[in-house]
């Protein structure tokens, strides 16, 4: 028994089976986590090796080069780059997307094992770090406080950090910009010298006085008591009264030579939020966890945590990476609902029967929900790709059901009773329905086989649409006949209500008129075949010749996620006060100028070493970094691109700024981040590459770019103490001892820890700030020899100003420097690449310097190639499916002529709207290939049928056109109009998928218009040839002498 | 005795069975899914790409009264749904 006859015979079973699918789907929908893109596993591994005391070029030659050479043989490696700076080498390996990073890490570890012995003796063991997008903070909270500022760190640590770290999935929570409490012992060097004391002796006194030591146990009578010396400091005042030495028989107290300050750490990062001082709390997630889920939990927790805080402390959100995700998915959900509504209208418009419309529409939610079960089962997320696949699929799922319903209706109209009509009519079209689903599957299934970045992006799309199409075919073959058998009646025109007649009589008249107009047009074209072919060929060549060169390309469109991050660098060594003044000035200016800014968080100064996130980013007293939250794009007129462009011009006005980097979207390249053009310059000679980098930076500026970032830092000025070894030897000193003396006085020595209610605070002994402000102060530092002789530093050597060479960067085993520039508005990646190539070729580069495009350009080229290859594969597969269906090679060939016209449509669409070809648009084009052939299949199939029924070629074709126009228009309109919400969407994130909707809509509409005329003409031509050949054969056979 | 041979569009299957019951005819032989084409008009039923519908056929041997009743009944059915197609052929047979 066939599927549909059992379905019709067992309506309850059938209905409940689909209800079950729907329920599982709804369950999946509720529990599915959401994200922006499918999970992209990190593809980067870093190998860090320290080699104390080595200069950058030593590191390059002795550490980085050997490691690079060895690791270069690891499989699936895309790029290997290294940064060699003083004392440390960092080799970064970038693997091809899709490579299991754990396997790669093992490979790397094995290779490192091999090379360990070849590294210099003093070098540390190479350490492997995996880095992925999971390490980017998902949430940055601002904390502002007034009265509670001194104790803020402790309050945050206890009340917020610990609580948040306990949330499931949160990786690490760190506090930045809030200084920690510290007990500072600030010494007066003159008094120290007078009493023959040193920083070292003071810190050892503090350390040995701040002790609790158990002394064993003692038995007294029948009891045992434990003995303890308990002399840990109970208050910071106690430290002042320590006896640190004696002079002429009198005790010297610490307060005599130093002042003890119980305060906040001296130099640290400061954070401001909307101009108010405070701090930042940075939340990172655990690898593989879902950001949205974690942030939701954190947000639920925050109000209750806030209640426990002192009333002057305010929490706010500076960066919430999930806001954009939630809004994007929300706007996609809206898009899907609009699409559903449009498809419903189209179906109702054509069918004019609400029962029939319901039967068709019911297949949509069921098929879509079935694909959600797949997402849930495979542990995926609802993301931009999976959601837009749903939106794409809506227009296509109804096609099969429409064909089945149409045939059942015509059987019922002929007089069959609905139950039998449902079975027999479905039987008649089952093969055709399956075949047309197969052509669609031929497009989407190969997508699941693609590797690399395109694979990660589009594997989900492939699976989703394939599942949706398969389930919708099942629906069409089981649910649709079942519902038709129970719900449809023979149409009784007289019974129609008044309004129904009022609406549908004109619609039907219009559609009939359209059909006969089309039949006339077809008839005319069939009689002027050559003209039609000529016009078609000319259009094809013309559009390709005109629009082809105008086509721009880009990787992934930039998304407006309401974030801008700004880094400003003043000359190295700028005092923090000056940096702070500038930071606050910018903050004030921008918040006045851009009312769109909801929250502006900034931080400046050196980060504490235990703040993981802050110390990973470049920091220092001369660096300002800002995070600006502008809110949803739907609530403002100016885009982040416009605003960031104004910011760039304004930053360029400040002469004191050495370099700045404004990043619209908070991240560069990758998925929806700021589009940049990056030129990599390769060459050994520093001066030559520096010169080339400056030249290219100039070229970018000439092209309208407002900021360029050169990856190589300048030489950094610093003071070096040049010790004279002979003099050191004279006093029995060595470099290490003197250097330690110097460090203890300037940076300070951590003498001990002060404990208070379970927390520990550093006790730091150093010179008071007023005694370490000039070079003279440093020269006057007293060093004691082993014999106790006091010597001034200036007697041991000189202080010289020198320049530290910058980090040596290498990529693919060659020294390189990169220049990157964000694209100005209205410029696509391909425009900029062409312009800069022309400029570089014209001006030339210094000898020994070669160049290449870097950044995401590699990914773009590779992805485009993959998709191009995929397209060829799909064309072949679609051809095979059609050839099998028609059992002919000619007809599929004729139908395939629709494909170039799909590209004509895509080209026209992209050119008219000025949209660059992104990978999303490219995928749209790939999909169009499979969809456009469907109309041709319907027309050719019916023409064949007419001929089999005995009609002549031309009549068969015209009749096929007249009677098939409605279904063709209906299925095309559901698909094209279903794409419109995607193509015209203005919601958050729509920039990314707009290209996809646009290419499908344009490609399909233009190719449908052409298919309707051009394919029938070609069909007639080829059928004519076929007939001629047959007749000739028959003639020859007749002419042959008959065998007797 | 009469032999009544009915060929019809398979969509009529249930109605023909019903007709036999209504005329109190118990015995019959039926072929599901047979191909055929009418002599004068109507669509062929060939199960092919061009003519996808199929016929069914039923033969029954009944006395003359029953045959007349059945004939009348089926004629009405055919007239109700002329597009589907139903033909009845009878011939006299020996009842040995």
- A515-553 pLDDT, tens per residue? 999 999 999 999 998 899 999 999 999 998 988 888 888
Highest mean pLDDT among A12-16, A145-149, A938-942, B13-17 belongs to: A12-16
Residue of A nearest to B14 (CA): A420
Contacts of A419 in chain B (CB under 8 A): 14
* pLDDT tens readout for residues A659-674: 888 888 877 766 667 8
pLDDT at A879: 93
Check residues B91 and A275 and name the one with the higher pLDDT: B91
Q: In A55-82, which positions are buried (b, 16+ CB within 10 angstroms) versus exposed (e)?
A: bbebbbebbbbbbbebbeebeebbebbb
Helix, coil or strand: residue A85: strand
Helix, coil or strand: residue A134: helix
Check residues A825 and A227 and name the one with the higher pLDDT: A227
**Between B49, B52, B81, which is nearest A415 by CB?**
B81
Q: What percent of chain A has pLDDT over 70?
A: 97
The pLDDT of residue A611 is above 50: no
* pLDDT tens readout for residues A729-739: 888 888 888 88
Which tokens go with A423? Answer: 């079975």
State the smallest CA–CA distance between residue B84 and chain A in angstroms: 6
Q: Does B33 touch chain A (CB under 8 A)?
A: no
Packing angle of the helix pair A418-447, B13-22 (nearest 10 deg): 160
Which tokens go with A35? Answer: 């994200």
* Mean pLDDT over each residue of chain A, to the nearest integer: 86
Cα separation of A324 and A344, whole Å? 30
pLDDT at A672: 67
* pLDDT tens readout for residues B38-58: 888 888 888 888 888 889 999
CB contact under 8 A, B54 and A424: yes
**Between A416, A944, A948, which is nearest B11 by CB?**
A416
CA-atom Rg of chain A in angstroms = 38
The pLDDT of residue A158 is above 60: yes
Mean pLDDT of A853-870: 86
Contacts of B82 in chain A (CB under 8 A): 415
Residue A306: Cβ within 10 Å count: 14
Helices (H), A667-796: 686-702, 725-730, 735-746, 775-779
Query: What one-character-per-residue DSSP string does A879-929 give?
Result: HHHHHHHHT-SHHHHHHHTHHHHHHHHHHHHHHHHT--B-HHHHHHHHHHH
Contacts of A415 in chain B (CB under 8 A): 11, 80-84
CB contact under 8 A, A948 and B50: yes
* pLDDT tens readout for residues A775-816: 888 888 888 888 888 888 888 888 888 777 778 889 988 998
List of residues 6+ apart from A294 with CB closer than 8 A: A138, A139, A167, A168, A169, A170, A283, A285
Query: What one-character-per-residue DSSP string does A523-561 give?
Result: HHHHHTHHHHHHHHHHHHHHHHHHHHHH--B-SS-----
Q: Does A1030 touch chain B (CB under 8 A)?
A: no
pLDDT at A615: 46
* pLDDT tens readout for residues A743-773: 888 888 888 888 887 788 888 898 888 888 8
Mean pLDDT of A863-887: 90
CB contact under 8 A, A416 and B9: yes
Check residues A840 and A1038 and name the one with the higher pLDDT: A840
Closest C-alpha to A1007, from A328, A646, A375, A536: A536
Residue of A nearest to B53 (CA): A428
Number of independent structural domains in chain B: 1
pLDDT at A1041: 64
CB contact under 8 A, A945 and B49: yes
Check residues A493 and A362 and name the one with the higher pLDDT: A362
pLDDT at A914: 84
Instruction: Please give the angle made by the CA atoms of A650, A709 and A659, to the nearest 5 degrees.
Output: 50
The pLDDT of residue B88 is above 90: yes
CB contact under 8 A, B80 and A415: yes
* pLDDT tens readout for residues A412-455: 888 888 888 888 888 888 888 888 889 889 989 998 888 777 88
Largest CA distance in chain A: 148
Which tokens go with A755? Answer: 């404990």
List of residues 6+ apart from A583 with CB closer than 8 A: A272, A568, A602, A604, A624, A626
* pLDDT tens readout for residues A649-659: 899 889 888 88
Helix, coil or strand: residue A620: strand
The pLDDT of residue B90 is above 90: yes
pLDDT at A495: 65
**CATH number of the domain encompassing residue B23:** 3.30.70.120
Cβ proximity of B49 and A944 under 8 Å: yes
Residue A122: Cβ within 10 Å count: 11
CB contact under 8 A, A416 and B54: no
List of residues 6+ apart from A368 with CB closer than 8 A: A25, A390, A393, A394, A397, A468
pLDDT at B3: 93
Q: Are strands A620-629 and A808-811 parallel, antiparallel or unpaired?
A: unpaired
CB contact under 8 A, B11 and A945: no
Cα separation of A1016 and A668, whole Å? 50
Q: Helix, strand, coil proportions of chain B in percent (round to 5)?
A: 30, 30, 35
The parent domain of residue B12 ranges over 2-92
Provide the ipTM: 0.83
Check residues A54 and A973 and name the one with the higher pLDDT: A973
State the smallest CA–CA distance between residue B71 and chain A in angstroms: 20
CB contact under 8 A, A421 and B11: yes
Beta bridge partners of B2: B62, B92
The pLDDT of residue A266 is above 70: no
Contacts of A421 in chain B (CB under 8 A): 11
Mutation to test the A interface, candidates B13, B49, B79, B81, most A Cβ within 10 Å? B49
Q: What percent of chain B has pLDDT over 90?
A: 51
pLDDT at A586: 92
pLDDT at A618: 63
Residue A732: Cβ within 10 Å count: 11
Helix, coil or strand: residue A763: strand
Contacts of A428 in chain B (CB under 8 A): 52-53
Cα separation of A454 and A824, whole Å? 26
Give B8's pLDDT tier (boundaries 50, 70, 90): very high
Residue of B nearest to A432 (CA): B49
Helix, coil or strand: residue A371: helix
CA-atom Rg of chain B in angstroms = 13
pLDDT at A286: 84
CB contact under 8 A, B83 and A415: yes
Instruction: Please give the angle made by the CA atoms of A985, A439 and A1002, to the nearest 5 degrees.
Output: 30
Q: Does B95 touch chain A (CB under 8 A)?
A: no
Give B30's pLDDT tier (boundaries 50, 70, 90): very high
pLDDT at B72: 92
Give A612's pLDDT tier (boundaries 50, 70, 90): very low
pLDDT at A268: 67
pLDDT at A494: 62
């Amino acid at each position: 028994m066939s599927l549909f006859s059992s379905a019709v015979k067992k309506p309850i079973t059938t209905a409940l089976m689909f209800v079950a699918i729907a329920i599982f789907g709804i369950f999946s929908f509720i529990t599915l986590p959401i994200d922006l893109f499918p999970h992209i596993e990190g593809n980067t591994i870093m190998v860090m090796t320290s080699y104390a005391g080595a200069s950058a070029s030593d590191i390059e030659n002795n550490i980085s080069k050997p490691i690079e050479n060895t690791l270069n043989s690891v499989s699936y490696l895309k790029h290997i780059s290294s940064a060699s700076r003083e004392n440390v080498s960092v080799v970064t390996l970038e693997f091809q997307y899709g490579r299991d990073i754990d396997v790669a890490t093992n490979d790397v570890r094995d290779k490192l094992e091999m090379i360990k012995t070849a590294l210099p003796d003093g070098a540390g063991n190479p350490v492997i770090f995996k880095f992925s997008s999971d390490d980017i903070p998902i949430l940055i909270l601002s904390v502002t406080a007034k009265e509670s500022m001194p104790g803020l760190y402790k309050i945050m640590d206890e009340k917020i950090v610990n609580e948040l770290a306990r949330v499931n999935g949160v990786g690490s929570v760190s506090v930045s910009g809030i200084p920690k409490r510290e007990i500072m012992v600030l010494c007066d060097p003159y008094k120290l010298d007078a009493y023959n004391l040193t920083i070292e002796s003071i810190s050892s006194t503090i350390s040995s006085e701040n002790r609790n030591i158990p002394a064993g146990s003692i038995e007294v009578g029948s009891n045992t008591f434990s003995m303890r010396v308990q002399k840990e400091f109970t208050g910071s005042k106690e430290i002042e009264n320590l006896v640190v030495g004696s002079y002429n028989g009198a005790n010297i107290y610490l307060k005599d030579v130093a002042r003890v300050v119980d305060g906040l750490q001296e130099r640290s990062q400061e954070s401001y939020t909307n101009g108010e001082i405070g701090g930042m709390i940075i939340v990172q997630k655990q690898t593989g966890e879902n950001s949205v889920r974690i942030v939701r939990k954190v947000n639920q927790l925050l109000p209750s945590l806030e209640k426990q805080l002192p009333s002057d402390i305010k929490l706010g959100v500076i960066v919430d990476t999930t806001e954009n995700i939630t809004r994007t998915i929300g706007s996609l959900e809206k898009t899907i609902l609009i699409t559903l509504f449009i498809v419903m209208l189209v179906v109702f418009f054509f069918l004019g029967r609400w029962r029939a419309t319901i039967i068709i529409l019911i297949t949509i939610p069921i098929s879509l929900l079935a694909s959600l079960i797949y997402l849930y089962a495979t542990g995926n997320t609802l993301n931009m790709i999976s959601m837009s696949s749903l939106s794409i699929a809506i227009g296509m799922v109804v096609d099969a059901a429409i064909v089945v319903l149409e045939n059942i209706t015509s059987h019922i109209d002929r007089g069959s009773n609905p139950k039998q009509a449902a079975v027999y009519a479905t039987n008649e079209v089952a093969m055709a329905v399956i075949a047309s689903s197969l052509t669609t599957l031929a497009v989407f299934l190969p997508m699941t086989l693609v590797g690399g970045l395109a694979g990660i992006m589009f594997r989900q799309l492939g699976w989703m649409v394939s599942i949706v199409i398969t389930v919708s075919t099942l629906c069409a073959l089981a649910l649709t006949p079942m519902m038709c058998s129970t719900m449809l009646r023979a149409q009784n025109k007289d019974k129609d209500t008044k309004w129904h007649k009022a609406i549908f009589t004109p619609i039907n008249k219009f559609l009939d008129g359209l059909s006969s107009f089309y039949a006339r047009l077809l008839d005319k074209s069939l009689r002027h075949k050559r003209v039609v072919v000529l016009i078609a060929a000319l259009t094809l060549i013309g559009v390709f010749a005109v629009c082809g060169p105008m086509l721009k390309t880009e990787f992934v469109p930039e998304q407006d996620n309401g974030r801008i991050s700004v880094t400003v660098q003043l000359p190295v060594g700028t005092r923090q006060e000056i940096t702070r003044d500038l930071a606050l000035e910018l903050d004030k200016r921008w918040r006045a100028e851009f009312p769109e800014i909801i929250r502006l968080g900034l931080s400046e100064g050196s980060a504490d070493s235990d703040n993981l996130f802050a110390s990973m980013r470049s920091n220092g007293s001369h660096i300002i970094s800002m995070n600006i939250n502008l809110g949803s794009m739907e609530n403002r007129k100016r885009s982040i691109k416009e605003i960031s462009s104004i910011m760039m011009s304004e930053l360029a006005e400040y002469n004191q700024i050495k370099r700045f980097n404004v990043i619209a979207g908070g991240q560069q390249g990758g998925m929806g981040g700021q589009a940049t053009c990056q030129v990599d310059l390769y060459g050994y000679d520093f001066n030559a590459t520096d010169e080339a980098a400056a030249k290219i930076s100039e070229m970018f500026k000439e092209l309208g770019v407002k900021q360029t970032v050169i990856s190589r830092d300048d030489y950094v000025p610093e003071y070096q103490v040049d010790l004279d070894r002979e003099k050191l030897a004279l006093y029995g000193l060595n470099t290490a001892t003197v250097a330690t003396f110097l460090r203890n006085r300037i940076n300070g020595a951590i003498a001990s820890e002060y404990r208070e209610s379970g927390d520990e605070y550093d006790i730091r002994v150093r010179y008071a700030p007023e005694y370490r402000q000039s070079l003279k102060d440093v020269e006057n530092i007293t060093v004691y020899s082993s014999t106790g002789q006091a010597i001034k530093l200036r007697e041991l050597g000189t202080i010289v100003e020198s320049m530290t060479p910058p980090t040596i960067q290498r990529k693919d085993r060659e020294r390189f420097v990169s220049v990157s520039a964000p694209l100005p508005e209205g410029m696509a990646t391909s425009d900029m690449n062409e312009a800069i190539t022309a400029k570089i070729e014209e001006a030339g580069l210094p000898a020994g310097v070669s160049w290449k495009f870097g950044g995401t350009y590699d990914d773009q080229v590779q992805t485009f190639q993959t998709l191009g290859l995929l397209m060829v594969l799909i064309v072949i597969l679609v051809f095979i499916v059609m050839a099998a269906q028609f059992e002919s090679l000619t007809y599929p060939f004729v139908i395939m002529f629709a494909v170039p016209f799909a590209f004509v449509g895509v080209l026209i669409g992209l050119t008219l709207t000025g949209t660059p070809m992104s990978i999303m648009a490219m995928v749209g084009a790939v999909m169009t290939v499979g969809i456009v052939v469907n109309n041709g299949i319907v027309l050719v199939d019916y023409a064949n049928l007419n001929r089999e029924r005995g009609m002549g070629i031309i009549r068969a074709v015209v009749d096929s056109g007249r009677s098939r126009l409605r279904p063709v228009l209906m299925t095309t309109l559901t698909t094209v109009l279903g794409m419109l919400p995607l193509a015209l969407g203005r919601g958050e994130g729509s920039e990314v998928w707009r290209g996809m909707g646009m290419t499908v809509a344009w490609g399909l509409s233009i190719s449908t218009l052409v298919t309707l005329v051009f394919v029938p003409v070609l069909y007639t031509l080829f059928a004519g040839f076929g007939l001629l050949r047959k007749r000739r054969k028959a003639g020859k056979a007749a002419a042959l002498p008959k065998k007797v | 005795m009469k032999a009544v041979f009915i060929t019809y569009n398979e969509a009529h299957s249930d109605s023909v069975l019903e007709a036999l019951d209504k005329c109190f005819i118990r015995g019959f032989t039926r072929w599901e899914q047979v191909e055929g084409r009418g002599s004068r008009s109507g669509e062929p039923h060939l199960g092919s790409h061009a003519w996808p519908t199929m016929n069914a056929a039923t033969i029954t041997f009944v006395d003359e009264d029953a045959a007349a009743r059945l004939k009348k009944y089926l004629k009405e059915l055919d007239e109700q749904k002329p597009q589907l197609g139903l033909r009845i052929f009878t011939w006299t047979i020996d009842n040995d």
